[in-house]
Amino acid sequence: MAPKAGEVDSGAAKVSAPAYHVMTKEQTIADLGLNADLRKTGLSTAEAKARFEQYGPNQLTEKEKVTLLQRIWKQVSNVLVGILVFVAVVSLAKGIASSDAESRLTNFIEVGLITFVITLNTTIGIYQ
């Protein structure tokens, strides 16, 4: 569940945090325990270093990027695609084993259509 305004999700428990986005600059400076003239002087080097050690770098965390192969695998790793692949393999085997040219062509067309459907479904799923 996503944290509500004024709450911070710290993992184990939700901690109430001030809603800085609705505070004035002066209220925010006072709430953080900083000098009132901070807007003119900025943080001292010692204060900046102490805050860096306490809170870490001032940067957003990035999610791990999902590779193209992972996205493809996510699209094809389900029961329906497994059934379609099985049917395609059976049709291919029947086409190879068939002595009748018309039956062989029909089976190869089925394999092509099933492969096309799987490819189309995967492509659409990746770009959604």
Summarised one tens digit per residue, pLDDT across range 42-101 is: 888 888 898 899 888 888 888 889 899 999 999 999 999 999 999 999 999 999 998 888
What are the Cα distances from residue 21, in Å, to 4, 51, 96, 105?
13, 20, 68, 67
Indicate the pLDDT class of residue 13, thresholds 50, 70 and 90.
low
Residues 71-109, buried b or exposed e (16+ Cβ, 10 A)?
eeeebbeeeeeeebeeebeebbebbeeeeeeeeeeebbe
Highest averaged pLDDT of the listed ranges 18-22, 41-45, 52-56, 120-124: 120-124
For 7, phi then psi, to 5°, come to -120, 150
- Contact status, residue 111 vs residue 95, Cβ threshold 8 Å: yes
**Three-state SS at 4:** coil
**What does pTM read for this prediction?**
0.52
For the cut 60, the answer to whether the pLDDT of residue 6 exceeds it is no
Contact 92, 111 (CB under 8 A): yes
